[in-house]
A and B are shown apart, each in its own frame.
Chain A
Amino acid sequence: MSAQIILKEEKKIITDVSNVMLDLKDLKKVYPTPKGDYVVLEHLNLQIMKEEFVTIIGHSGCGKTTMLSMIAGLNPISGGDIAVLGKPIKGPGPDRGVIFQAPSLMPWMTSLQNVLLGVKQVFPHGTKAQRTDIAKYYLQKVGLEDAFHKKASELSQGMQQRVGIARAFAIKPKVLLLDEPFGMLDSLTRGELQDILIEIWNKEKITAVMITHDVDEAIFLADRVVMMTSGPRAKIGDVLNIDFKRPRTRKSVLEHDNYYTYRKHLIDFLEH
């Protein structure tokens, strides 16, 4: 029903260039194999606005993670451009915070030390007390005020990922990249962490790009859901605008008239 309207709106947003935070232009990724080149991504174009939350959905192995790690600068670009605020990226950097699928905390450090590790890099001139305050603030935000001095290896998977969220927000990145951050959690913990994530995000409004397999998660969190075609030569297949008001609650989203239309749209795309 609304495909045309969505496309029109899409164009309207794109024309406002000064508002673009992240710009992927004609992005390409090739892995050389003995049987010739394997093209993972090709002609991938995507613009993400300031303060926008974009979720990316697509089949396993289509190259979502490849794209995200290219934006993070952890994976070299084979062709095209990635720019943050108009400046092409050069390798990884703390302006693009990443929440990995595995919590990736240093298990020998406490949760506070893990967050401080990043804070120290971004606020090198702050005093130790200031940095500790920042780290503690974000750990409180994710509900870990009782676990500052617990070793990361002693925390549950869900709690570790909370530290991962705190670490990512505490370095105040321009763009937050989330690679299926809740994929390894049980559904109850996942819901909790989605709420925590969206709560902090509402406050910080950091441009976010999140990969997910979960259609409901994609709709609940995003301003736009970007659907990727299946690989090889994956690109953007379709984009769906989610017009729910923020702040959102799970209840209001589920009860919204458009919820099932959006859901059907995404599932239709994934099943074709």
Chain B
Amino acid sequence: MKASSLTLGRVSNFLGFGFFTTLRNVFTGNLEKEDLKKFLRKVIVPLASIFLFILIWHIGAKTLFGIEAKFKIEKALEDQGQAAADALTACIASGESSCQPNTLPSPAQVWESFQSLLRDHHIISADKEAFIEKTAALNKTRIAAGKDAIVYTGRPSFVDQIFRSLQTVFAGFFLALLIAVPLGILIGLSSTLKSAFNWFIQIFKPVSPVVWYLLVFMIVKTVLIGSTEDSSFTISFISVGLCSMWATLVNTAMGVSTVDKDYINVAKVLKLGTFQKIFKVVLPSSLPLIFTGLKITLSVAWMVLIAIELLAQSPGLGLFVWEEFQNGANDSNAKIIVAMFAIGIIGFLLDRLMLTIQNWVSFDKQDAI
């Protein structure tokens, strides 16, 4: 029991959720006096700031709502007269969804939208399961006859979109890893290659994700010419990979070219072969920097993903946000804010995931920032 709770504490500390341990101590009565300050700082202060944030948001949304409503009513008065203005005022006050002013949603509205998105997900999942069950027998005979199985083509739910986005971001991340790490090692090892590639890195590193998307689109469109398959996923994950790989490329090259001179001297004295030198000395010693690069790459990938999905019309959170914006339904704005929080929280979790892996593989714990 004690050992397991100790591990739990270590894991949560590791993930940056150290306050959980303190919180647990509060409930289990293990709190000592000197812990009180820590408790205040680690639990009360963050909770208070979250509350304050929601309060400011609430007041801001309310004010914007008032401005928008007033404007709408005045406009109705000007255009259609007093009766229309009165009707509109009554309509807004009644909470009727068709006449609500379109502005920043309040925290309560966002929470409501979040729950409705979850309900929506359950409905769609149930629908999907039913569909699969219904078509199972039919699909068997279709496959036996050499025909394609019927697949569910219904609307994806919000949760489906999140998983779709994660797929895209990881595909892009692995593409970046596969290109940037080997290339970075080569550039770091050879000063000739470094001068050959330096201009390339300097010029393409700052290029915006949108432009990368267009470039990838031009190429993939031609490569896949005649293919009937939907190329939007391919285009978006390649674009994500290409714009996020630079941090890893630069960090790997730097890590490899700045291996501690002592280690290199040892390798020289022992006359290690090139292969052994790279895999036993150079790579392990540059792992911390490579992982710092990969961490940046993953967070950049997640950040640019939304813009690229939006452009590529590839299913995912980006497309979700864009469709809600285009949709202009009553709760669209609230759904966009829900997506914003989902993006932020997932980005944070991805960052923690990388930090955990980095701590795990790195020999020098201090290097992991």
Q: When each residue 249-271 of chain B gets 1 if its CB lies under 8 Å from chain A and 0 otherwise, what string results?
A: 00000000000001101101111
Shortest CB distance B274–A (Å): 13
A108 with B270: CB separation less than 8 A:
no
Please name the residue on chain A nearest to B283 by beta carbon: A108
C-alpha spacing A94/B267, complex, angstroms: 10
- Tell whether A74 is near chain B: CB-to-CB under 8 Å: yes
A104 with B280: CB separation less than 8 A:
no
Measured CB to CB, the residues of B under 8 A from A are: 262-263, 265-266, 268-272, 280-281, 284-285, 287, 363-364
The residue from B269, B287, B364 contacting A74, defined by CB atoms under 8 A apart: B269
Shortest CB distance B288–A (Å): 10
A74 with B265: CB separation less than 8 A:
yes
C-alpha spacing A117/B280, complex, angstroms: 9
Please name the residue on chain B nearest to A153 by beta carbon: B363
Which of B263, B268, B281 is the most central at the interface, judged by chain A CB atoms within 10 Å of its CB?
B268
Shortest CB distance B34–A (Å): 30
B363 with A107: CB separation less than 8 A:
yes
Decide yes or no: A108 and B265 within 8 Å by CB, A93-B271, A94-B271, A117-B280 being known contacts: no
Shortest CB distance A68–B (Å): 12
Which residues from chain A contact B284 at a C-beta distance below 8 Å? 106, 108-109
A121 with B271: CB separation less than 8 A:
yes
B265 with A106: CB separation less than 8 A:
no
Interface residues in A139-160 (C-beta closer than 8 Å to B): 151, 153
C-alpha spacing A94/B263, complex, angstroms: 15
A92 with B285: CB separation less than 8 A:
no
B269 with A117: CB separation less than 8 A:
no
Shortest CB distance A49–B (Å): 23
C-alpha spacing A93/B262, complex, angstroms: 15
B280 with A106: CB separation less than 8 A:
yes
Please name the residue on chain B nearest to A173 by beta carbon: B269
Please name the residue on chain B nearest to A105 by beta carbon: B266
Please name the residue on chain B nearest to A100 by beta carbon: B262
Known: A104-B265, A121-B271. 16 other contacts (CB 8 A): A73-B268, A74-B269, A92-B268, A93-B269, A93-B271, A94-B270, A94-B271, A97-B269, A98-B265, A104-B262, A108-B285, A108-B287, A109-B284, A117-B270, A117-B272, A118-B270
Which of B263, B265, B284, B364 is the most central at the interface, judged by chain A CB atoms within 10 Å of its CB?
B265
C-alpha spacing A131/B364, complex, angstroms: 28
C-alpha spacing A195/B363, complex, angstroms: 31
Classify chain A's interface size. 20 to 34
Which residues from chain B contact A106 at a C-beta distance below 8 Å? 263, 266, 280-281, 284-285
Shortest CB distance B173–A (Å): 24
- Tell whether A171 is near chain B: CB-to-CB under 8 Å: yes
Interface residues in A64-113 (C-beta closer than 8 Å to B): 72-74, 91-94, 96-98, 100, 102, 104, 106-109
Measured CB to CB, the residues of A under 8 A from B are: 72-74, 91-94, 96-98, 100, 102, 104, 106-109, 117-118, 121, 151, 153, 171
A104 with B271: CB separation less than 8 A:
no
Which residues from chain A contact B263 at a C-beta distance below 8 Å? 104, 106
A sample of 25 inter-chain contacts (CB < 8 A) reads: A74-B268, A92-B268, A92-B269, A92-B271, A93-B269, A93-B271, A96-B269, A97-B269, A100-B262, A102-B262, A104-B262, A106-B263, A106-B281, A106-B284, A107-B364, A108-B284, A108-B363, A109-B284, A117-B270, A117-B272, A118-B270, A121-B270, A121-B271, A121-B272, A171-B270
Which residues from chain B contact A104 at a C-beta distance below 8 Å? 262-263, 265-266
Which residues from chain B contact A98 at a C-beta distance below 8 Å? 265, 269
Shortest CB distance B52–A (Å): 44
A72 with B363: CB separation less than 8 A:
no
Which of B269, B284, B287, B364 is the most central at the interface, judged by chain A CB atoms within 10 Å of its CB?
B269
Which residues from chain A contact B285 at a C-beta distance below 8 Å? 106, 108
Which residues from chain A contact B363 at a C-beta distance below 8 Å? 107-108, 151, 153
Shortest CB distance B280–A (Å): 6
Which residues from chain A contact B266 at a C-beta distance below 8 Å? 100, 104, 106
Please name the residue on chain A nearest to B266 by beta carbon: A104
Which residues from chain B contact A72 at a C-beta distance below 8 Å? 269
Which residues from chain A contact B269 at a C-beta distance below 8 Å? 72-74, 92-94, 96-98
6 closest A-B pairs by CB: A108-B363, A104-B262, A92-B268, A108-B284, A118-B270, A121-B270
C-alpha spacing A108/B281, complex, angstroms: 9
Shortest CB distance A242–B (Å): 28
Shortest CB distance B360–A (Å): 12
Please name the residue on chain A nearest to B268 by beta carbon: A92
C-alpha spacing A92/B285, complex, angstroms: 22
Please name the residue on chain B nearest to A168 by beta carbon: B269
Which residues from chain B contact A171 at a C-beta distance below 8 Å? 270
C-alpha spacing A118/B268, complex, angstroms: 11
A100 with B265: CB separation less than 8 A:
yes
Which of A100, A121, A153 is the most central at the interface, judged by chain B CB atoms within 10 Å of its CB?
A121
C-alpha spacing A153/B265, complex, angstroms: 18
